[in-house]
Structure 1
């Protein structure tokens, strides 16, 4: 668990260093400008691409360098987009909609996964076996990410609201640690941290609902996409290369996930082979419908302004055409 604290701290330091221009170029060619792309443990395709240096390869004959930054959650990825510190960032679908509704100028040309990456987790001896048992309890969650929205949907289905529990807002690795150390009663978990707890600690995933998980979105800054369409094409082509390789090499992909996140091979295999679907990379109607159904939560929880046009934001966010030519 201590290494999780270190990873969380490293992510926070990395974000600060990025703002100061201190994150080094990984494989850049000394070009005249830089494209910054995030990587995340919850985005296995990004790990594959980074492992093979394929993004640097895609830009090798241009005057553009590539930098990688670590996102520990959708909230951090959205912060990169909002500040303009990353042109491409990985989030859950509902988190992308929240950002777009709040004026962050992103759109989603690519879906990196259809995961079941979140569930509600509690120690096996906690007496918590259903969502209703959370009333009056403390629950760790990362505000603005899929696990947080998962928790809100679960509470609503059980006839509860966020005010009926004490939500402790922690980054995903810190939420994992807080649960193990008894600092919270439950955790809105995220893989791979959740799978690690499931296999290595005495915990239960006491509430699972795959349809409450939103897709993994790769977002791009709208202005960048309009000014540099060839760069966007290179990134999307590289993502397709990574996705196809991951589909063809599931064991090796699980191995990369294990190595990058310092987890065991069984944990990585559970995350990638049992809970990750890479078959739907092109955003489309199913994503629009899902976000439209979930959008009211953003108003109810006051995560967007009262006058935010959420349906317009859905339509502006989902880009079904840009990646079409590069998807096999």
Structure 2
């Protein structure tokens, strides 16, 4: 009888494990990607094989659009710049930063561009001008920092809030004088439209990105997110060592011209996952403070509460 009872327990445990395995395999992570970046790097690096869940990819043209989807529950997680993340969090979005990333190229992938024939040749020349930017975007944040460096206030210019496609059209039409944006849009403007970089983020931006996740996904899919973030961190390490191969996949997957993809990867530099720690928090307090000083965020929330370090182990190789 005891032998039969033990056998019954083994059979039951095996059945339970099999059931759990099926449930895990049936789990879906809804991952957002901006212009293919996250999907491209993970597929190029080959890190998704054997993942115990399915991934449903969604593509977005900007962090703002991605964060709106995250806020609305349409996606579970996605990669965004720190400035748009903080802007969305301050607006009440139920999200957290679950992985931080830092680029070693000092913010070169974000820039203010002007037409080649523009008389604007210095930051001081921006006074009285119309400048396009996405509200709360990393371009908007760079613009605020650049104005401050030149001794200008946001009120010294007219900031026109536009999505990337509309901003580029406005710059081409001459209805704005400059555009604060990021790659691959800057790359396209420089390489294909012959616009000029007035200033980029070197020496101005901390160049932090975040994989952001909804509170619902963090609570309900924590183990799967942890596994995904580990794979993503591995993919970015691979991309840092194989920029050419990453650019090739980025171009193929997004339809970006290869020269634009190569420029984008080069300007970003080595982009690696790092722990969410006191240094990251200090950088984000600076972002929130700058937006507050500019009147973009009226009542800044607690930055510490926006950062979830419970996934930090996923950064470890």
TM-score by length of 1: 0.79
- Return the alpha-carbon distance in structure 2 between the equivalents of residues 325 and 53 of structure 1: 17
Cα distance in structure 1, aligned partners of 2:86 and 2:152: 24
Match of 1:10 in 2: none
SS at match of 1:212: coil
Aligned counterpart, 1:132 = 124
Deviation at residue 192 of structure 1 after TM alignment: 0.9
Equivalent residue of 1:58, what SS?
A: coil
Give the match for residue 62 of structure 2: 73
Structure (1 or 2) with the larger CA radius of gyration: 2
Match of residue 23 from structure 1: none
Q: Give 1:51 deviation, angstroms.
A: 5.8
- Cα pair 1:37 1:87 within 8 Å, conserved: yes
Map 1:16-27 onto structure 2 (within 5 A).
none
1:180 aligns with 2:169: no
- Cα distance 1:237–1:294, how it changes in 2: closer, same or farther (>3 A)? closer
| Counterpart for residue 39 of structure 1 | 33
**2:211 is paired with a residue of what secondary structure?**
strand
Measured at CA, do residues 242 and 262 of structure 1 come closer, stay the same or move farther in structure 2, by a change above 3 Å?
A: same
Work out the CA distance in 2 between the residues paired with 1:224 and 1:263.
Answer: 31
- Unpaired stretches in structure 2, ≥5 consecutive residues: 1-22
Deviates more, 1:31-40 or 1:78-87: 31-40
**SS of the residue 1:183 aligns to:** coil
Q: Is the 8 A contact 1:195 1:271 kept in 2?
A: yes
Q: Which residue of 1 aligns with 2:98?
A: 109
Aligned mate of 1:255, from 231, 245, 248: 248
Contact 1:113 / 1:281 at 8 angstroms: preserved in 2? yes
Shift of 1:256: 1.6
Distance 1:30 1:316 in 2: 29
Aligned position for 1:239: 232
What TM-score, normalized to structure 2? 0.82
Q: Is the 8 A contact 1:93 1:216 kept in 2?
A: yes
Instruction: Provide, for residues 233-263 of structure 1, a one-character-per-residue CA deviation record: whole Å limited to 9, x for no partner.
Output: 2211221232233123211101122223333
- Cα RMSD after superposing both structures: 2.6
CA contact (8 A) 1:109 1:282 kept: no
**1:31 CA displacement:** 7.2
Partner of 2:189: 197
Count of paired positions: 291
Whether the aligned pair in 1 keeps the contact of 2:25 and 2:52 (CA below 8 Å) is: no
- Residues 46 and 239, structure 1, Cα contact 8 Å, conserved in 2: no
